[in-house]
Amino acid sequence: MRLHLLLILLLLFLLCSFDIQNQTIDYLLNIESKEHTPFHIKSNVKELMLELETRYQKKIEIVIVENKIGPVGQVRVEKEKLIIEIVENAQDKNELLLHELFHLKLFLMGVPYKIGWDIPKNENWQKNIEYLSWCDDMIWDKIQHYYFYPIINKQFNENPYKFFKKELDYYLKRHELPNLHEATKELSLAFYYLQTFVETNNNKYLKKYESFLEKNYNSLGIEEGKYLVDLLKKNDFNSKDSFVLLFVKCFNYINASTPINYQIIIDAEFENSSIVIFRFN
Ligand SMILES: [Zn+2]
């Protein structure tokens, strides 16, 4: 009798603990499957996220970061995951997320996901790297936007051009562009010309920016800006190399005395994964 009671108690205990264990696992699974993004993600953007996670074999982590000067969104491919950073005061985070997802989409086509600069490690190294990173931002990033903004517009019925139009309107009203330095002024104005072309996709804005340069900056940057825009217009984007070659053409035009060449390195991080290294000739 006692033994029976003991056995029943033991059985009850085992059942209970099994149940508790199961509940704990369910609870954990629920927690894991819950969304933790602090903003609403539209269903078609979610679908794209899932597609990319499958193809990369990596999870996407969205990180909201403090406001800062510079890009409002960024994406990084890491060993374990894909990190997308979005600044906290950015408006329309859903669209910024979509923007970063499209960079990831391009990397799956073989467009390099990382840029390396093979330059001598001398006393000018830090300054040189800062300049080259600026060129990456102002050319490499814009080349990608030129390719995928029309696709976002068509396939997702979103307007990726609204962000820059707003920014440009603000500066045109103030009659000056921010953070211009004497040594790189002309180039900054030319880069802004390129950005206006790519990120407004609107001739009226390009004309407005041109007359702004005529009035306020003695037409500085217009000639170079037009040349860069022509290079983009002429590009066919038929291969992963065509993206890189276009960057080299733009870079060598604005840095004619220090031209570069490139080497694409295939690695096994994800399908079609590649890195590009630039060197001076
Ligand atoms: Zn971008």
pLDDT tens-digit profile of 92-108?
Answer: 899 999 999 999 999 99
pLDDT at 72: 83
The one-letter code for the residue type at 215 is K
pLDDT at 19: 38
Of 59-73, 119-133, 207-221, 222-236, which gets the smallest average pLDDT?
Answer: 59-73
Average of pLDDT values for 70-82? 90
User: Are 152 and 114 a contacting pair, CB within 8 Å?
Assistant: no
146: three-class secondary structure by DSSP: helix
pLDDT at 102: 98
5: three-class secondary structure by DSSP: helix
Q: What spacing in Å lies between the alpha carbon of 172 and ligand 1's midpoint?
A: 23
- pLDDT at 17 exceeding the cut of 50: no
pLDDT at 20: 37
pLDDT tens-digit profile of 204-243?
Answer: 999 999 999 999 999 999 999 999 999 999 999 998 899 9
Q: What spacing in Å lies between the alpha carbon of 281 and ligand 1's midpoint?
A: 28
pLDDT at 2: 54
- pLDDT at 31 exceeding the cut of 80: no
Q: What spacing in Å lies between the alpha carbon of 2 and ligand 1's midpoint?
A: 73
Q: What spacing in Å lies between the alpha carbon of 141 and ligand 1's midpoint?
A: 6
Top pLDDT among 6 and 245 is at 245
pLDDT classification of 67: cutoffs 50, 70, 90: confident
CB atoms within 10 A of CB 214: 12
Q: What spacing in Å lies between the alpha carbon of 11 and ligand 1's midpoint?
A: 60
Average of pLDDT values for 167-182? 94
The H or E element spanning position 167 is helix 162-174
Q: What spacing in Å lies between the alpha carbon of 103 and ligand 1's midpoint?
A: 7
User: Are 94 and 162 a contacting pair, CB within 8 Å?
Assistant: no
Calculate the average pLDDT of the chain.
Answer: 88
Q: What spacing in Å lies between the alpha carbon of 69 and ligand 1's midpoint?
A: 15
User: Are 142 and 199 a contacting pair, CB within 8 Å?
Assistant: yes
Q: How far is CA 77 from CA 52, 74, 121, 255, in A?
A: 12, 10, 26, 29
Average of pLDDT values for 112-116? 96
pLDDT at 68: 74
Q: What spacing in Å lies between the alpha carbon of 253 and ligand 1's midpoint?
A: 22
pLDDT at 33: 38
Q: What spacing in Å lies between the alpha carbon of 33 and ligand 1's midpoint?
A: 28
Model confidence, pTM = 0.85
The candidate with the shortest Cα–Cα distance to 178, out of 169, 186, 187, 188, is: 188
- pLDDT at 16 exceeding the cut of 80: no
d(Cα 39, Cα 50) in Å, to the nearest integer? 17
What tokens were used for 244?
A: 């890189």
pLDDT at 71: 74
Of 27-36, 187-196, 199-208, 235-244, which gets the smallest average pLDDT?
Answer: 27-36
- pLDDT at 28 exceeding the cut of 60: no
Distance between terminal CA atoms of the chain? 92
166: three-class secondary structure by DSSP: helix
- pLDDT at 18 exceeding the cut of 70: no
pLDDT classification of 91: cutoffs 50, 70, 90: confident
* Apex 164 CA angle, 214 and 116, nearest 5: 95
d(Cα 73, Cα 145) in Å, to the nearest integer? 13
Number of Cα atoms under 13 Å in the Cβ half of residue 112: 22
Q: What spacing in Å lies between the alpha carbon of 145 and ligand 1's midpoint?
A: 6
User: Are 97 and 84 a contacting pair, CB within 8 Å?
Assistant: yes
Q: What spacing in Å lies between the alpha carbon of 99 and ligand 1's midpoint?
A: 6
Q: What spacing in Å lies between the alpha carbon of 100 and ligand 1's midpoint?
A: 6
